[in-house]
Amino acid sequence: RYPFLLARLQPDSEDLSLCFDPSSGAIGKFDEGDALFVDGQPSEQVQAVLEFCKNFEEAGQRTGMFMDELKKADLLMDGE
């Protein structure tokens, strides 16, 4: 998903915004590549990135909930 990610712009909000790393070199003014916006609206490529990031975030939340349940059931043990 890099250089894109979802982030909360307000700490008390549940809303997530699509952000990107401006230092990545993958986003900028280029002669070739996909546009981020078409007619002032997010392009299909940006919509696809947004959907992927949403799915990634949801999967992370499900994994966290699963881990919480494993801990509650005392199913984890130390190991090397």
**Comparing 52 with 13, which gets the higher pLDDT?**
52
Q: How many CB atoms lie within 10 A of CB 36?
A: 12
CA distance 58 to 47: 16
Query: Tokens standing for 57?
Result: 């975030």
Look at residue 65 in the predicted model and tell me its pLDDT: 97
SS3 31: coil
> Binning pLDDT at 50, 70 and 90, where does residue 13 land?
confident
- Mean pLDDT of the region 23-41: 92
Are 71 and 23 in contact by the 8 Å Cβ rule? The answer is no
Are residues 20 and 34 in contact, defined by beta-carbon separation less than 8 angstroms? no
